[in-house]
Amino acid sequence: MIVFENTIIGHHQPLISIESLSLQTGAIYALIGRNGAGKSSLMRVVAGIVPPTAGRVEVYGQKMPISQLATVSVPESQMINVQVWDKANVGAVDQAIRTSDLNLNPLVDGQLLRIAIPKLTEERRKELIKVLKTIAEKAKVAIRNIRRDSLEELKKEQKDNNLSEDDLKKNSNEVQKITDLKIAEIDKKLSEKEVEILKV
């Protein structure tokens, strides 16, 4: 089984954000989406070719996603279980969780790590919001970089006489509209998550 929890996937920019997804071994799945949506990037992560942006563990001298080392489950709202498949990797997974900036201390029971999630204090809620804002800003920077690259490509096409001045202006405006829309989506999600985190 491959389990994704709060995983971000994307090579140069975040393409897919997965809150929770479990893929059963031997099952058949369909993955549908528009061009550039991140289907290939997701499949590279599932195949173990590329690690996700988040949730890595160092094993055998390499950083590996937890999904390649263990099954992650949430039996109750304040508890996460990490069932490590290979006993030799328990220490590395435990260490990775402890040294992350999540302030979590797993209880090791053989190959099972039980992680109690403490209730959020006001201070911790504010810390999480800062982390959330940093992630949102990185996503906006990535979107602006895509805009820059797209505009440069359009200008190159126009310079090579493959695009008229009117088409350049029209396509540039479209790129800006998409950029504004995606940044607005990030801001909306950020606001929603801030409210959710601050809710007691």
What's the pLDDT tens digit per position in 19-35? 556 655 567 777 776 67
Cα separation, 100 vs 98, in Å, equals 6
Chain centroid to CA 70:
18
Q: What is the pLDDT of residues 123-149, one digit of tens each?
A: 878 888 898 999 999 999 999 999 999
Cα separation, 191 vs 177, in Å, equals 21
- In the beta sheet, which residues pair with residue 9? 16
The verdict on pTM exceeding 0.85 is: no
Q: Tokens 């039980």 — which residue? A: 114
Residues whose CB falls within 8 Å of the CB of residue 9, separated by 6 or more in sequence, listed in order: 15, 16, 17, 18, 38, 41, 42, 45, 52, 53
The CATH number that domain 2-116 falls under is 3.30.1360.40
Cα separation, 198 vs 27, in Å, equals 39
Tell me the angle at which helices 122-159 and 165-198 cross, rounded to the nearest 10 degrees: 170
Cα separation, 31 vs 52, in Å, equals 17
Chain centroid to CA 140:
14
Give the pair of three-digit tokens for residue 52.
């996700």
Assess whether the region 2-116 and the region 122-198 belong to the same CATH fold.
no
- Domain borders along the chain are 2-116, 122-198
Superfamily of domain 122-198: Ribosome-recycling factor (1.10.132.20)
Q: What is the pLDDT of residues 71-124, one digit of tens each?
A: 888 888 788 899 988 887 888 888 888 877 677 888 999 999 999 887 778 887
Q: Output the pLDDT for position 177.
A: 95
